[in-house]
């Protein structure tokens, strides 16, 4: 199949997995421009890439692979994008289907009414889902357990107040205040201050990823996978300014290796279409509503058998049920 035929096939796939949404189509020529950018970016990376090791990825939903001893058992929490050292080389640019889907998601986000936010308010998010825990029993066998990730959380928009988390009916004030926020613990004001140019935004995220997951960092993920995971975390944060959300989707379309899975189910049981990236035997999926292109949730699926389970096992899944801006912690939109 020549490049033109492949491009046409991918566009047909995009049309099948995500019907047109109620917002304008991408501007003429946008897809071609993006495609050229992807190809030049991959070529640049192929010339400059060097072998790298690296850290376990960061994130909000039990993303660190670690150990703890409890009741005589050793426990390890599975991280998104974790795996053995090394990263694949010569990764192709994002597929045309994923570019199309992400552009529609960006357009849908851009026309979302702008929320007027003032100091003293909170961003609210309600999620359901689970992370996986691999436990070594007293008998020495390994057991895969699930930990509940259902919760409600209120985060100060300007980072001046402590974050309130409600889980299993219990309220907890997290230690310290968010402050200005950062890519791992964003506040609304931090998100609003991020660049809205996709290239500049991706560079900002990649700089952070390169510092923490690049050459010489002992990382297993590498900057591209870490950038994809970071963008997913930011989008799932709860309330993201429309322009920032649109820029995040378009930045994700610039990451090599991004593709589409036509059918995926989120932690709330909702079917959708997913933008995905596979790394070291794990596929990170962002699941979108087919008709609105709204982000429903995220999950990690094994594509290879390993200690965490057989291929096809959903090891981590979190769905966003509600979000908004409220005046007080504990208040519902």
How many CB atoms sit inside 10 A of residue 28's CB? 7
Mean pLDDT lowest among 79-93, 132-146, 239-253: 79-93
Model confidence at 205, pLDDT cuts 50, 70, 90, reads: very high
How buried is residue 313: exposed, middle or buried, by Cβ count under 10 Å (0-12/13-18/19+)?
middle
Whole-angstrom distance, CA of residue 63 vs CA of residue 51: 24
Q: Which helix (H) or strand (E) holds 108?
A: helix 96-110
pLDDT at 77 over 80: no
Residue 332 domain flag: no
Residue 291 domain flag: yes
| Domain membership of residue 275 as a residue range | 3-326
Whole-angstrom distance, CA of residue 159 vs CA of residue 50: 38
Q: What is the pLDDT of residues 32-58, one digit of tens each?
A: 555 554 444 434 433 333 322 222 233
Q: What is the pLDDT of residues 163-174, one digit of tens each?
A: 999 999 999 999
Q: How confident is the model over 225-240, as a mean pLDDT? A: 92
**pLDDT value of position 134:** 82
**pLDDT value of position 71:** 37
Residue 317 domain flag: yes
Residue 331 domain flag: no
Residue 137 domain flag: yes
Residue 142 domain flag: yes
Residue 333 domain flag: no
Q: What is the pLDDT of residues 104-150, one digit of tens each?
A: 999 999 999 888 999 999 999 999 999 998 887 888 777 888 999 99
Task: Write phi, then psi, for 201 (nearest 5 degrees).
Answer: -65, -45
Average pLDDT, the chain: 80
Q: What is the pLDDT of residues 5-35, one digit of tens each?
A: 555 565 565 555 555 544 445 555 555 555 5
Number of structural domains (the chain) is 1
- β-strand pairing of 258-265 with 219-220: unpaired
């Amino acid at each position: 199949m020549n490049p033109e035929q492949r491009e046409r096939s991918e566009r047909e796939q995009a049309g099948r997995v995500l019907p047109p949404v109620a917002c304008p189509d991408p501007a003429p020529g946008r897809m071609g421009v993006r495609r050229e950018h992807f190809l030049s970016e991959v070529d640049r990376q192929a010339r400059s890439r060097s072998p790298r090791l690296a850290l376990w990825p960061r994130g909000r939903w039990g993303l660190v692979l670690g150990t703890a001893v409890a009741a005589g058992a050793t426990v390890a929490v599975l991280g998104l994008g974790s795996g053995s050292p090394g990263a694949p080389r010569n990764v192709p640019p994002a597929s045309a289907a994923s570019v199309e889907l992400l552009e529609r998601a960006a357009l849908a986000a851009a026309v979302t009414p702008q929320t007027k936010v003032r100091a003293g308010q909170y961003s609210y998010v309600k999620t359901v889902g689970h992370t996986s825990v691999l436990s070594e029993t007293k008998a020495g066998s390994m057991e895969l357990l699930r930990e509940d990730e259902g919760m409600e959380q209120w985060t100060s928009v300007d980072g001046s107040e402590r974050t309130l988390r409600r889980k299993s009916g219990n309220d907890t004030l997290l230690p310290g205040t968010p402050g200005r926020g950062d890519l791992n613990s964003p506040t609304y004001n931090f998100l609003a201050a991020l660049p809205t140019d996709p290239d500049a935004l991706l560079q900002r995220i990649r700089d952070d990823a390169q510092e923490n997951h690049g050459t010489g960092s002992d990382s297993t993920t590498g900057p591209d996978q870490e950038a994809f995971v970071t963008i997913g975390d930011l989008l799932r944060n709860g309330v993201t300014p429309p322009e920032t959300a649109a820029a995040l989707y378009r930045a994700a379309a610039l990451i090599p290796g991004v593709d589409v899975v036509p059918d995926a189910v989120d932690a709330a049981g909702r079917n959708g279409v997913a933008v995905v990236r596979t790394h070291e035997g794990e596929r990170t999926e962002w699941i979108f509503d087919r008709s609105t292109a709204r982000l429903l949730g995220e999950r990690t699926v094994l594509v290879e058998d390993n200690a965490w389970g057989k291929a096809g096992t959903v090891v981590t899944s979190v769905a966003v049920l509600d979000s908004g801006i409220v005046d007080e912690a504990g208040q519902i939109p």
